Amino acid sequence: MDRLDNIVRPYAWGSTTAIPHLLGVEPSGEPQAEMWMGAHPGAPSRTARGTLVEVIDADPERELGPAAVARFGPRLPFLLKILAAGAPLSLQVHPDLEQAREGYADEERRGVPVDAPHRNYKDANHKPELICALTEFDGLCGFRAPAEAAGLLEGLGVDSLKPYAGLLRAHPEETALREVLTAVLSADPDEMAHTVAEATAACTRLGGDYAPYAGIARHYPGDPGVIAAMLLNHVRLEPGEALFLGAGIPHAYLDGLGVEIMANSDNVLRCGLTPKHVDVPELLRIVRFEAGDPGVLRPEAAPDGEEVYDTPIDEFRLSRYVLSEGGTARDLTLDTPQILLCTAGSVRAGEHELAPGQSVFVPAGEKAEVSGAGTVFRATVIV
């Protein structure tokens, strides 16, 4: 197996302390948002044999296994991350596989440069994802029931929000949510900025259920995404709890440290809380206008102490082992590729001693034993 040297992405929303604290190093004072583990061409992990992209490209069937190559092609199908949010991420959705293929082909046909700021589809893949909390973790996930969202808006006492509340109460669920999100994102920017300022003052004064939105507005003053965010469920995860974000589900991470895994894609449609491009018509094509419970996941016990986060897709499978000192070594050998990540304590993986934040890549079929006293996450695929 290969020890991974991983790149940390310094996005502006990143925490300045969470990843350094996990790694046991002094903070630099700069934001450290995501540490990527995998073979994404934008920031591939490095090994003693070269980047993980180079290692896999040299012999895909050896590294990934014949079954994974037959199912997903000659590339690692997932990207594993440590994510540290110190400020809200953009409010966003991801396409399903058919939508991604259509959108990518359309932009290729129209000659939109892949690095253009208004480009929506960087690839032809979908991007389901799972976030598992390592600390308390706040986020937004999926639409509230329209009546509940209307009540939240009405409670602010802001006159310019009353028409939105009226729409939410007057129409069936899908129509109501679509009309209000469209109206918020299409409103006159100056008028919306004034509405957001009034709503922010009210959220700050009222606190309680409004406190998360006051916090969002401090980071994105005047952004229509502040109002759009109030249409969504606010979720607080405890350590070990997780959220699965499927296609078309609007979401945003607000604060906290977690392990994130996703299909290997960059496709994001933004709804707000960002200075980046917001393509409202394409966004409305992708969003699923369905209210529902965000569905907090807790790990399910499997044989040999494995705790599995069950999701409905095959590009990734995330689980964890909580190991005790003096316990027997666990054999994690699989016919599929794996990344093993230590998040607490000290774990021995093969010949490698892993401290928190350290990881290894295990080629398909290679012997993989772990022992020690700590927590190790296992990322692999289902074939």
Active site residues: 270
Strand positions, DSSP E, 27-135: 34-37, 46-47, 50-51, 78-85, 91-93, 129-133
Token pair 């005790």: residue: 324
What is the rounded distance in angstroms from the CA atom of residue 191 to the CA atom of residue 259?
A: 39
Angle at 144 between CA 185 and CA 124, to 5 degrees: 60
Residue 201 has, within 13 A of its CA and on its CB side, a CA count of 7
Region label for 219, one of left (φ > 0), alpha (ψ between -120 and 50) or beta (otherwise):
alpha
Alpha helix positions (H), the chain? 18-23, 52-58, 60-64, 66-72, 97-109, 146-154, 162-170, 173-186, 189-206, 211-219, 225-229, 280-286
What is the rounded distance in angstroms from the CA atom of residue 171 to the CA atom of residue 151?
A: 15
Residue 202 CB burial class (10 angstroms; 0-12, 13-18, ≥19): middle
